[in-house]
């Protein structure tokens, strides 16, 4: 079967690319497969493969190529239908919302983050409704959506265990803590690097901005615990590595400075669950009752949010020429949050909702 073989200049390719982007912005979706067909033919792809790629017939592909050869880009245009593009009905908007909530991969797109052109394509494919890319943003805002940074969620999540923690385990912990007048301490660790972190900044086009750094791969480590009831913040800083021995020393300090029973909630880090720590918790069972969060569930640990706040407030952007400069800033920021109990208590919103239901 005869295939078209065409050669395009760089100028022609640039013109096609420019027109493709313009067609997206102006909602001329019919042009997109036509331009793709021309560029694919120019790259050496056969008509049969192009038709499979675009899900159209071989005859249609040949028609696009023939029109382009005869009349250039103008040959790909078609007369615009008169009248305004149809609007989405209420049921169509609900279907769109369900599709967005499920994610683009469920709708047949590669990747897991929505972009306006993807939604534009989905609307045209499913409802034959044509909107410009720019209007898609306004449409989504009107429907209660916002363009925001996604977060990773591990595919190792055990949803049953997470559900059990929220519906059974934590309510059980609450009852026990109130009965014993105990702390409920959520624990975790953080490391604050001396080399700093990069962020967006203003700079001249074509000149990548530079940010000064010490270049030293050294971090200041902190053990931390925050109390569900009072917002108290216990912490201990160290330069040495985090392990079972230093974790034990931190917990002994906390025990020594309080007479209340401690209900400790921690993740499954190795030095939390080692044989050494199992023996420690057994030895101090009259003072500490230990619970482990569901695996891969940092969103269930409020102190994770506190570390983020501490880094944003204290160490995210500054330059630390010496390790002592970093240590001083970390201590200053930790002390500020130690006194800001309401700030710490605000991190427990999810758990307060459980408490209020009871």
Structure tokens at 160: 């049953």
* 155 part of a folded domain: no
Q: What is the DSSP string of 279-328?
A: HHHHHTTTTEEEEEPPTT-GGG-HHHHHHHHHIIIIISS---SSHHHHHH
- Of 76, 108, 123, the position where a domain reaches its end is 76
pTM of the predicted structure, to 2 decimals: 0.60
Domain that holds residue 95: 90-142
Joined together, the tokens standing for residue 48 give 């049969």
The more confidently predicted of residues 147 and 336 is: 336
Are both 72 and 106 inside the same structural domain? no
pLDDT tier at 26 (50, 70, 90 boundaries)?
Answer: confident
Out of 23, 47, 76, pick the residue that ends a domain: 76
Say which CATH number the domain at 248 has: 3.30.420.10
Residue 165, pLDDT above cutoff 50: yes
Residue range 46-91, pLDDT digits in tens: 888 888 888 888 889 889 988 988 888 888 887 655 555 568 888 9
| Mean pLDDT score, 149-156 | 62
Task: Say yes or no to pLDDT of 163 above 80.
Answer: yes
213-247: pLDDT as tens digits: 656 668 999 999 999 999 999 999 999 999 999 99
In this structure, the answer to whether residues 180 and 71 fall within a common structural domain is no
Determine the Cα–Cα distance for residues 75 and 261; give it in Å rounded to an integer: 80
Average pLDDT over residues 90-106: 90
Domain count, the chain: 3
Q: Is residue 312 part of a domain?
A: yes
Residue 149 included in any domain = no
321: number of CA atoms within 13 Å, CB side? 0
Q: Which residues of 183-207 are buried (b: 16+ CB within 10 A; e: fewer)?
A: bbbbbbbbebbbebeeeeeeeeeee
């Amino acid at each position: 079967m005869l295939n078209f073989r065409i050669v395009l200049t760089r100028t022609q390719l640039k013109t096609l690319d420019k027109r493709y982007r313009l067609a997206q912005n102006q909602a001329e979706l019919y042009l997109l497969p036509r331009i793709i067909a021309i560029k694919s033919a120019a790259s050496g792809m056969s008509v049969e493969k192009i038709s499979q790629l675009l899900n159209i017939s071989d005859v249609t592909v040949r028609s696009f190529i023939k029109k382009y050869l005869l009349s250039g880009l103008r040959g790909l245009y078609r007369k615009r239908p008169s009248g305004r593009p149809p609007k989405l009905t209420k049921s169509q908007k609900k279907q769109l919302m369900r599709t967005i909530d499920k994610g683009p991969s469920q709708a047949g797109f590669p990747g897991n983050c929505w972009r306006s052109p993807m939604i534009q394509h989905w609307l045209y494919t499913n409802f034959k409704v044509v909107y410009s890319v720019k209007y898609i943003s306004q449409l989504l805002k009107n429907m209660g959506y916002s363009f925001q940074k996604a977060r990773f969620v591990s595919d190792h999540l055990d949803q049953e265990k997470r559900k059990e923690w929220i519906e059974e385990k934590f309510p059980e912990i609450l009852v026990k803590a109130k009965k014993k007048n105990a702390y409920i301490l959520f624990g975790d660790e953080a490391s604050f690097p001396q080399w700093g972190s990069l962020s967006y900044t203003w700079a001249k086009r074509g000149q990548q901005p530079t940010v000064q750094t010490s270049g030293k791969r050294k971090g200041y480590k902190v053990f931390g615990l925050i109390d569900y009831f009072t917002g108290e913040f216990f912490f201990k800083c160290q330069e040495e590595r985090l392990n079972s021995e230093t974790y034990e020393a931190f917990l002994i300090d906390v025990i020594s400075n309080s007479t209340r029973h401690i209900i400790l909630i921690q993740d499954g880090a190795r030095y939390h669950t080692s044989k050494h720590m199992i023996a420690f918790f057994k030895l101090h069972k009259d003072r500490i009752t230990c619970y482990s969060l569901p695996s891969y569930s940092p969103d269930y640990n409020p102190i994770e949010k506190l570390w983020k706040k501490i880094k944003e407030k204290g160490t995210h952007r500054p330059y630390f020429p010496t390790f002592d400069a970093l240590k001083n800033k970390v201590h200053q920021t930790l002390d500020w949050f130690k006194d800001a109990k309401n700030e710490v208590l605000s991190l427990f919103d999810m758990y307060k909702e459980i408490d209020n239901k009871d």
